[in-house]
Structure 1
Amino acid sequence: MYNDKAGKVAVIYIRVSSERQVKGYSLEGQKQYLTECAIRRGMNVLRVYVEEGKSGKSIEGRTAFQEMLDDIKSGKERIDYVMVFKLSRFGRNARDVLNSLEFIMNHGVHLMCVEDGLDSSTSMGKMMITILGAVAELERENIIVQTLLGRETKAKKGGWCGGFAPYGYVIENDKLVTVPEEKEVVQIIFDKYLNKGLGYAGVATYLNKQGYKRRAAPNQKDFKFDDWTTEHIKQILSHPIYKGKMVWGRRRTEKVPGTENEYRQVWQEEYTVSDDYTHEAFVSEEDFDKIQELRAKAAKWGNFELGQSKAHLLSGILKCPTCGSSMYIDTNQWTNKDGTKRLTYSYVCSHYKKTSGSGSCERNGVSAVEVEREVIEFISKLMHNERFAADIREKLMKALDTDEIKAELEHHKSYLKKLRYNQKTLEQSLDQMDFEDKNAWRKREEKERRLDSIYDEIYETEDKIEECENRLQKSKQDAVSLEVVLELLDSFEDIYDTMSNREKRELMKALVSEIHLLPSKEQKEKQRFVKSMILNFPIDRSVLDCLRVSNQGVEVVCLLSKLK
């Protein structure tokens, strides 16, 4: 039995990058292995931090890792060691490994990489961790380069390099195979744009009016519309895959300048094209090149979007009364009799705009000035409602009252302390057993069974503690949110009138989640636009009743009504 670390307190950090990790590297496998290693060394395992499905390229975004560092920094509990399966689990970016190692060592905590046989408490171990951290990063970069080169070579030979097949094809045996009915649609798109002079919107309108439907992409969730939009037309017209050759590398992930670990997708002017034709072409190379020239000319002239800089108050918040899609601003320019020009703004269905009016929904336009005025009046009345103010204050006080949660938390912590004591007592008893006793092995089995039961209770109690701490934190956050609303109650108009358009929009997004409109016919009958609102804060039913009377029946739903 190892006893060089007897009595030391360890936390375990385990991570796998995906569900496809081999069994020996699974979360449960790492957890069991590291726990057994700690017990053999006479160490007490304080906590296990679990990170699922996170990349090891940097510590940013690894919530469990950050939580572990925060616990070490707080110093509330004794921690002597962080145990990991391999150094690559701790981090594969050399700078992050060294920074994190320096951080924990500054707080009196060492790193133990069990599989690598490394221990930062020794000078040799610390040196090896430094060296291996740099090597791991070099290996990772080398793997990335090798992967990219491998895919580039595969694409040149005509192999499919991953992802979903473009519209018009399916993947069979790593090759693109034509879907006849979709091929027809793609060729119509190329023909209408090149030979009939139609733009993106014109082609989309033609397909929709002719009844051509679009299938959902394999990764598309909540597939709602099968209409063609200008964006779909643009994607097909610009994709060189339809020339019959395999392409790869049209987009590359590049590091954002001035950041450490932020990346973005960037379109590339040069990309890999297979040497030979690898699948059926839907358009000739000559016609494809002509289409790109036409697209470049159209992009050069562009389309002047009126009012684009204006931050419209309810864009994305208003919902179409027919299909439920978000509504966005549509701008019209009019010429007065005296020759001067004026602009009018309307909110229209976003799906209608995407399909240029040829899809399965209507325009459903409403005057931006009038609907914004109606919403602002409602919010203003809400802010000045005495019942609402009293209700918010009451909920604020309840949100601040965390005594019950704190009592529950202390109970679980006290019980955990008792379990830890029982665990330590049993472990010491196991270490001191007299194996010459004829019943020694039977006694050992019984004690190990009891120890396993204690471990289960410890894990369960730790989960309860974490749940209580999360509830406590959420209560504090809710209280802060409500306090901000309170500050707004007393001087809504004064604050609102001094805001810029963009600030007003941000305020509206903070107050209102969704606004659903009445159907066009009912808007005329009831002389109003709004059917219902979903607010982002709790509100009492009596306040709703009062507001419903004064606002002609607007239904209000509260997202946070569960907060009592």
Structure 2
Amino acid sequence: MQLNSATTKNAILYLRVSSEEQVENFSLATQEEICRREATRRGYEIIETFREEGRSAKNISGRPELLKLLEFCRRNRRMVGAVLIYRLDRISRQTQDYLYIRKRLFDYGISIISANEPTGNSPTDKLLETIMASFAQHDNDVRSERTRNGLRARFLSGLCTGHAPLGYKTEHGHAVKDGEYFDKMKKAWDLMATGTKSLEEIAQIMNGWGMRKVISGKEYKLRSQTTSRLFHMKFYMGILTSNKYPEEVAGQHEAMITEEQFYKVQAIIDGRNRCGMTIGKRLKDHPDFPLRRSIKCGKCGGHLSGGWSKGRTKKYAYYICKNRCGGSSIAVQKLSDSLIEFLHGITPTKEQLEVFLMVLRKKFAQNINAIRTKRERAEQEIIQLKQLREDLVMNHLKKIYSDEVYQDQSKKIESKIAAFEQVMGKNTFYKYTMDDVDKFMMDKFKDLGQTYLDSEPGQQRVLLGSICPTGLAWQYPGLSNQQFSTEYQAICNVRNEQNALGVTDGIRTRDNQFHKLGL
């Protein structure tokens, strides 16, 4: 696709800062100044700016300004050449989301430019970009894992990890009695234990007592669904449970009722629910059907759905076209085996990966040099600005500048110093060495089938999407792929040139051979 950046020198800025980064003075103003300087250097004119303040990069849906940016690009695709960002992780810390946004902008003919990381549109540039985005997700996953471990340790110690239920409140990390609500909730348990009140009736009684459910600071009346959840909570008999952890542990909070009373109420409620069915939400990532959102029907292009069929002795898992276009059902194991066979078939050899990594290493070194040059310039600018600040202080002491002029100029100088210090700060390219990239590539690409099997459902979709962005289709039988991503195609180009290095075909230098491969 012809990118607009080749002909259109208009750009838009996307700036994002989370609540944590605000505390660290990583401000939107600092990002904007650096991005505008980069736009000027590249000859772009900024026509629109989108600011996302106090928003995490863990998902797309919670970032209204990013959604507005994508809609703006869709409507004005002919007049926008690039989206300028301070760093790749401003777009997203989730690799899958980043690749989706990059592809969507690429479809509009718009490129992404990072002010602190070399970006480009060649296959090698895109692969490096993807790896850096993966590292950003890795950092985020490590932080998330530490948080999860902390929450799990808290749970196992008997402390509440979420909101305390009705009748309790949280103080200094501990669940304690909530005054009158505690006594009223205990009275409600006593009424339910009599067996004379339905869940709807007890909800009306509790509403009459002035009890309310609070969500985001707003009060709501209780309904039968709410009381059903409340009277199934073991928290009230002093036991902590969680949807995330299998254990049940003794809580540090004061129990409201006895174990005997709890199970008496359960028997009363369950006696009224004779069908015994538990209705839950449809799982987004169902462990029994991991490919239902990744493989398409070869007949109509619709996604596959999953289900169970009952045989004489056991149930059988299968996939079927969601549109019911007439394609036959596919056994889950058959489709899984076909996918693993497909991934094995496109796995590059160790020698092919080593050739490609030679190219990548060269590109990585070029990017490091570009960042180093940028840092050296920033360092010189900081030295000059600090000298200017000293001169300003001296002139103020000599009464040459008034207090107002001094404060105004001092603020501007400090702002510029902060901006250049951000350039001098940590960069993803410095955080990881090429050895890290080598290990990452060799570990993940030496056996794509095994990498897929070892990955979580979300990571499996990222892997398949990064190799086959248009998706895989089941052709009844067999999997087909319409096109590889430009990043993986770069590796395929090496695979298709088995003797790319050392072949006497008129191309003698290694650089020319790499150029022939389009790398």
Q: Give the TM-score, by structure 2 length.
A: 0.45
Q: Give the TM-score, by structure 1 length.
A: 0.42
Name the structure, 1 or 2, with higher relative contact order (CA <8 Å, separation 6+).
Answer: 2
Give the structure with higher Rg (CA). 1
